[in-house]
Amino acid sequence: MFYLRHNYLDAIKVIIYMKNVMHKRIRGREHRRRFIKKLANAPQR
């Protein structure tokens, strides 16, 4: 019973992790573009 519950919690963690990863990947394009722009605008040292 404990083992089953442990697996269930792990599964929930994995699902939440996957959701976060997909969300970040979808927003990643805009963020990456902004980040590159920020790097380009930053003064070169």
pTM equals 0.41
Domain of 17?
1-45
Q: How many domains does the chain have?
A: 1
Q: Looking at the predicted structure, is the pLDDT value of residue 45 above 80? A: no
CA dihedral 29, 30, 31, 34 (to 10 degrees): 120
DSSP string for residues in 7-45: HHHHHHHHHHHHHHHHHHHHHHHHHHHHHHHHHHHSPP-
Q: For 3-42, how does the pLDDT look when each residue is reduced to its tens digit (9 = 90+)? A: 667 778 888 888 889 888 887 776 666 767 777 788 777 7
